[in-house]
Amino acid sequence: MRSKLFVPGSRPELFPKALAGPADALSFDLEDAVPEGGKAEARRLVGEALQSPGFAASTKILIVRVNGLATPHFEADLSAIVGPRVDLLNLPKVESADDVRTAVKALARLEKERGLSRPIGLLANIESPRGLRLAAEIAGADPRVAGLQIGFADLFEPLGIDRTDAAAVHQVKLAVRLAAGEAGLWVCDAAYAAIKDLEGFRAEALAAKRLGYIGKSCIHPSQVALANDIFLPTEAEVAFARRVVEAAAQTKAGVFTVDGRMIDAPFIKRAQAVVAMARQFTPPAA
């Protein structure tokens, strides 16, 4: 999931464009992108779209960001969107493992009622000081948690922390990546609000890649191609990874060298992941 494009749930005219676009994942937003008075209509529009033939035929990862557990909209959002074509439920403002378990219980009940055999996963947002402090517990709260995502606006703005402070951003990203790593999960990078600042987007995405993030949230289609390119392994990275995988297959030694670098189990695992990602996203030669 190199790119995850937010699509306002109240803008159905954007749905077909998003489905036809290059984003790996689409996140239909019922929360921040929808004003209070439009929540019911947005959930109806997204719910109907998820049952349409176009959505059923799409191979994209489909995500819905619902309103938080503390809002009066959570249960209604779930009722409208739970179905076979939802891959992940994006749960905002998660503050504890109990929040995860509450959401899972509600999901499981609806899935059982509707005869769904494939459980919907959870993408948990870390958006508060408490959520950040308990991020590892949130990540490990239930097998349905597939990954974590940071919400910098909700985390930084109430505290007066400058979103452009690279040191602050780096510290939070590293903390969340390590918390997710404890549970064996991935992390998707936060959105970058300055839509016209593509160089800023690029720099932040590259920094996230270096921290082991799998991709980046996009709030405008112009950001998608950049994310897809940045989070795809480079030719040099893929070539080195292939040499590592091939060397590992040919030796019984626990430690060996490739291109003058010491290689052991963690490096082999990373190389295998790089090769798999390249295979997934690189089209076959003509």
Domain boundaries along the sequence of the chain: 3-230, 235-281
Q: Rounded to whole angstroms, how far apart are CA atoms 116 and 234?
A: 39
Structure tokens that stand for 181 in this block: 């790593």
Q: Rounded to whole angstroms, how far apart are CA atoms 277 and 238?
A: 9
> What are the Cα distances from residue 42, in Å, to 32, 76, 116?
12, 11, 23
pLDDT of amino acid 283 = 59
Q: Rounded to whole angstroms, how far apart are CA atoms 178 and 251?
A: 31
Q: Rounded to whole angstroms, how far apart are CA atoms 189 and 213?
A: 6
Please spell the DSSP secondary structure of 96-138, one letter per residue. Answer: SHHHHHHHHHHHHHHHHHTT--SPPEEEEEE-SHHHHHTHHHH
Identify the CA nearest to 1 among candidates 203, 216, 270: 216
pLDDT of amino acid 45 = 97
The CATH architecture of the domain made up of 3-230 is Alpha-Beta Barrel (3.20)
pLDDT of amino acid 272 = 82
pLDDT of amino acid 246 = 84
CA 124 to chain CA centroid, Å, is 9
Structure tokens that stand for 151 in this block: 């919400």
Q: Rounded to whole angstroms, how far apart are CA atoms 104 and 139?
A: 13
pLDDT along the chain (286 residues), means of 10: 96 96 97 95 96 93 97 97 96 97 97 95 98 98 97 95 94 97 96 94 95 96 95 81 83 82 80 78 58
pLDDT of amino acid 286 = 44
pLDDT of amino acid 22 = 95
End-to-end CA distance of the chain: 25
